[in-house]
């Protein structure tokens, strides 16, 4: 891939990689946060059940307390106005209050005036006060159990008021009230790990593990509500500022992620748990009251953990992405390389084919001179024979003329054989393998080199049985044999008693054709480079393609194409031995099938 294209690909991939990392980070954050919140919700729910249970038990303890006062005759007489205020009753209420651990116990007339109270002897005693405007009185006067959280008007002490109607023969004659403090419970909450608060039906925080949260509001207060509080003095005219709880998003019906503003002063250090930041707020209604309990489980840790996981997921996915990128690039690179190798192989193959063809033509050129010489002799003989025949005919010596004409026919046949061989050699073969009797290409090769053989005086010995056949193209095999025999002749040049042997043997499903000479053999430095293209030890240009160093390289390529090998070695008695190893073939019953396209007569005619 060109550099510019690669850079462009990287330029496109980098934003994709960044996007992937971002997505993975986001998913990592969401999954981690989701899992953290689920676990937090579980513990929050347990806390909520625990605190709500303890608060409900605390309130239930006093639920029937005011009603029991209706069993006292003195109380009924007093509120019904049948008896004057008895101080003994005040003291009775005082003792009861002490023993029960409540804040105050008092009884009111049907009109709402306090007639007896446990705090009778205190300067801020309720006795004589008109509390008919208090909702708990209104509820009880109408025959219902009154439940009311409020701040006392006399001492400003917050408490829970439980009231009951005092009835006599089904007629309400007065109201009994017990005021209890929930402070102790509240104090026990401040030591637990998550802040908890209780808000009343108006959304006013009435109990909280953080003292400064008390008498703040969870939701904005509208004007009618504010006026109602002023009238009933429920919170004794306290300012009721907002707590500053901002909802982030809802997780379930009674679970919400919220943010709490930083507390005013030093509160954070005082509490054992965080009192600002993000929280999981879980709520539950408190039975028997209109109140709602809220547990705030700190969620900052979860968010922190989620960010860490998000960073890990982003880095991890980016790393994987880079690995993928590298892998893709490497694959592209390998594909490029493969394509290049294929292209080069194709080019080389084409070049090799051309060289083979060119090699053949070169041999033909080499042969031309020899052939011209070869043809000149029979032509001269023909000239003499035909002249003689005319003379024999003129003299009426018909027998002698017939003898001459037969001779002429033989010579013409011989020349025809020569030209047909040349035609077959110059033809570029298709290269398709077929069964070839080895004897034929061997004979052809020897024939083509006949001139040189005769000139050199080298003795040629051929041992190739007729039935030994290989699977290849006869023209190509012939080309290889011409190369090997020509190399042998080169090696034997100038040597007396030169011998060249061509043998072929079938060994199971292979055939080994050997071309051996008794020349100088292959030196150690030549042996490993024999089949290297352009490797030659022959100096200067010879006739033909000699000295190019291509003969063996091309021959080895041809043999390889037919599933064989060409090897060179030194013979046991010296000299070089070249072995062609090819797959064996079985000759068809009709040998003409094999001969098709080949020349038929390798024997040279001898002129008279
Ligand atoms: P070329 O014949 O053009 O040199 P080849 O590829 O046919 O190219 O041969 C390469 C070399 O192998 C020759 O130059 C020669 O050194 C060596 N060689 C080939 N055949 C023989 C042989 N029969 N005897 C000795 N050396 C040989």
What is the number of the ligand 1 atom nearest to the C-alpha of 548? 3
pLDDT of residue 427: 52
- Contacts (Cβ under 8 Å, ≥6 apart) of 129: 113, 114, 154
pLDDT of residue 588: 77
pLDDT of residue 203: 87
How many whole angstroms from 372 Cα to the centroid of ligand 1?
Answer: 28
How many whole angstroms from 426 Cα to the centroid of ligand 1?
Answer: 24
Mean pLDDT by 10 residues, the chain (608 residues): 68 81 90 87 89 83 85 86 81 90 91 91 86 89 86 78 90 92 76 82 86 85 81 79 86 87 58 77 85 88 86 90 87 92 90 73 60 78 90 91 90 76 54 90 90 91 95 91 94 92 95 96 94 78 52 87 94 94 85 41 32
Spatial distance between the Cα atoms of 418 and 379, rounded to a whole number of angstroms = 13
Q: Would you give the DSSP letter of residue 298? A: E
Q: Is 538 in the pocket of ligand 1 (CB under 6 A)?
A: yes
Q: Where in the chain is the domain with CATH 3.30.450.20?
A: 65-181
What is the number of the ligand 1 atom nearest to the C-alpha of 537? 14
Using CA positions, which residue lies closest to atom 13 of ligand 1? 536
Mutate to test the pocket of ligand 1, among 552, 556, 558, 566 (most ligand atoms within 8 A of CB): 552
Mutate to test the pocket of ligand 1, among 523, 533, 536 (most ligand atoms within 8 A of CB): 536
Q: Is 536 in the pocket of ligand 1 (CB under 6 A)?
A: yes
What is the number of the ligand 1 atom nearest to the C-alpha of 578? 23
pLDDT of residue 270: 55
Per DSSP, the residues of 189-222 read HTTSSS-EEEE-TTSBEEEESSGGGTT-BSSPPP
How many whole angstroms from 360 Cα to the centroid of ligand 1?
Answer: 17
Q: Is the alpha carbon torsion for 319, 325, 328, 334 positive or negative? A: negative
Is residue 346 helix, strand or coil? helix
Mutate to test the pocket of ligand 1, among 458, 484, 487 (most ligand atoms within 8 A of CB): 487
pTM for this one? 0.48
Q: Where in the chain is the domain with CATH 3.30.565.10?
A: 368-585
Q: Is the alpha carbon torsion for 355, 359, 364, 365 positive or negative? A: positive
How many whole angstroms from 349 Cα to the centroid of ligand 1?
Answer: 22
Q: Is 522 in the pocket of ligand 1 (CB under 6 A)?
A: yes
pLDDT of residue 519: 94
pLDDT of residue 542: 38
How many whole angstroms from 526 Cα to the centroid of ligand 1?
Answer: 9
Residue carrying the six token digits 């099938």: 593
pLDDT of residue 516: 97
Q: Is 430 in the pocket of ligand 1 (CB under 6 A)?
A: no
Provide the CATH number for the domain formed by 368-585 in this structure: 3.30.565.10
- Using only the alpha carbons of the chain, give its radius of gyration: 61
Q: Is 537 in the pocket of ligand 1 (CB under 6 A)?
A: yes
Q: Are 113 and 128 in contact (CB under 8 A)?
A: yes
How many whole angstroms from 534 Cα to the centroid of ligand 1?
Answer: 10
How many whole angstroms from 205 Cα to the centroid of ligand 1?
Answer: 109
Q: Is 542 in the pocket of ligand 1 (CB under 6 A)?
A: no
Provide the CATH number for the domain formed by 65-181 in this structure: 3.30.450.20
Q: Are 431 and 497 in contact (CB under 8 A)?
A: no
How many whole angstroms from 487 Cα to the centroid of ligand 1?
Answer: 6
How many whole angstroms from 596 Cα to the centroid of ligand 1?
Answer: 33
pLDDT of residue 598: 39
């Amino acid at each position: 891939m060109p550099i510019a294209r690669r850079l462009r690909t990287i330029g496109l991939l980098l934003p994709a990689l960044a996007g992937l990392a971002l997505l993975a980070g986001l998913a990592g954050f969401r999954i981690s946060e989701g899992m953290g919140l689920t676990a937090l919700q579980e513990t929050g729910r347990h806390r909520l059940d625990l605190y709500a249970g303890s608060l409900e038990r605390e309130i239930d303890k006093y639920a029937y307390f005011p009603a029991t006062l209706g069993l006292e005759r003195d109380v009924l007489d007093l509120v019904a106005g049948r008896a004057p205020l008895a101080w003994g009753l005040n003291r009775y209420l005082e003792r009861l209050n002490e023993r029960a651990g409540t804040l105050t116990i008092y009884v009111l007339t049907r009109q709402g005036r306090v007639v007896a109270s446990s705090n009778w002897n205190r300067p801020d005693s309720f006795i004589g006060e008109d509390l008919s405007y208090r909702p708990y009185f209104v509820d009880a006067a109408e025959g219902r159990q009154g439940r009311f959280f409020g701040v006392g008007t006399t001492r400003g002490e917050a408490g829970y008021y439980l009231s009951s109607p005092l009835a006599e023969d089904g007629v309400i004659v007065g109201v009994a009230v017990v005021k209890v403090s929930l402070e102790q419970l509240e104090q026990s909450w401040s030591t637990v790990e998550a802040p908890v608060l209780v808000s009343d039906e108006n959304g006013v925080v009435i109990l909280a593990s953080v003292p400064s949260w008390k008498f703040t509001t969870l939701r904005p207060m509208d004007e009618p509500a504010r006026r109602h509080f002023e009238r009933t003095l429920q919170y004794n005219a306290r300012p009721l500022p907002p707590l500053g709880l901002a909802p982030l998003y809802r997780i379930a019906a009674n679970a919400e992620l919220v943010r709490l503003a930083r507390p005013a002063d030093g509160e954070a250090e005082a509490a054992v748990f965080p009192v600002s930041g993000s929280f999981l707020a879980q709520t539950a209604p408190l039975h028997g009251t209109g109140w709602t309990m809220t547990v705030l489980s700190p969620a900052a840790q979860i968010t922190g953990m989620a960010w860490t996981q998000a960073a890990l997921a982003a880095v991890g996915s980016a790393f994987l992405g880079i690995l993928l990128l590298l892998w893709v690039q490497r694959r592209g690179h390998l594909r490029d390389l493969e394509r290049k190798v294929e292209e080069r192989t194709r080019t080389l193959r084409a070049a090799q084919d051309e060289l083979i063809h060119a090699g053949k033509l070169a041999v033909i050129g080499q042969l031309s001179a020899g052939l011209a010489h070869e043809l000149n002799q029979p032509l001269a003989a023909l000239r003499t024979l035909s002249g003689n025949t005319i003379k024999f005919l003129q003299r009426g010596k018909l027998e002698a003329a017939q003898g001459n004409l037969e001779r002429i026919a033989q010579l013409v046949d011989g020349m025809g054989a020569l030209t047909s061989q040349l035609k077959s050699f110059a033809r570029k073969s298709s290269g398709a393998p077929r069964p070839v009797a080895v004897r034929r290409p061997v004979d052809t090769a020897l024939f083509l080199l006949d001139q040189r053989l005769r000139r050199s005086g080298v003795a040629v010995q051929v041992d190739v049985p007729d039935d030994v056949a290989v699977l290849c193209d006869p023209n190509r095999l012939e080309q290889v044999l011409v190369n090997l025999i020509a190399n042998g002749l080169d090696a034997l040049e100038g040597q007396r008693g030169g011998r060249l042997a061509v043998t072929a043997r079938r060994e199971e499903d292979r055939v080994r054709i050997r071309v051996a000479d008794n020349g100088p053999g292959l030196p150690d430095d030549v042996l490993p480079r024999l089949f290297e293209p352009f490797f030659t030890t022959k100096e200067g240009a010879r006739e033909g393609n000699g000295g190019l160093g291509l003969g063996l390289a091309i021959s080895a390529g041809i043999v390889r194409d037919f599933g064989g090998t060409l090897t060179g070695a030194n013979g046991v008695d010296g000299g070089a031995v070249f072995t062609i190893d090819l797959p064996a073939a079985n000759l068809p019953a009709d040998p003409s099938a094999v001969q098709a396209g080949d020349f038929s007569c390798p024997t040279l005619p001898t002129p008279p």
